[in-house]
Amino acid sequence: MSCFKQALLVLAHLRKNETLTQVGAGFGVSEATAWRYVHETVEVLASWAPGLHEALVGLGEGDFVILDGTLIPTDRIKADEPYYSQKHKKHGMNVQVIARPDGTPLWFSRATPGRNHDLTAARGHGIVQACLTRQILVLADRAYQGAGATVRTPYYGHRDLPEHYQQYNRDHAGLRAPGERAFARLKSWRLLRRARCSTNRIGRTVAAVHTLLTCQYSG
Render pLDDT for 58-105 as a digit per residue (tens, 0 to 9). Answer: 998 889 999 999 999 987 665 566 788 888 888 899 999 999 999 999
Q: State the amino acid at position 164 in one-letter form.
A: H
Q: Give the residues across from 109 on adjacent strands.
A: none
Q: CATH 3.30.420: does it fit domain 52-218?
A: yes
What pLDDT shows up at residue 158?
67
With b for 16 or more beta-carbon neighbours within 10 A and e for fewer, the 158-180 pattern comes to: eeeeeeeebeebeebeeebebbe
What pLDDT shows up at residue 215?
84
- Ordered by start, the domain boundaries in the chain are 3-47, 52-218
Lowest mean pLDDT among 33-37, 70-74, 161-165: 161-165
Residue 17 DSSP symbol: -
Global confidence as pTM: 0.90
pLDDT above 60 for 214: yes
Tell me the percentage of the chain whose pLDDT exceeds 90: 75
What pLDDT shows up at residue 52?
96
What percent helix, strand, coil does the chain show, rounded to 5?
50, 15, 35
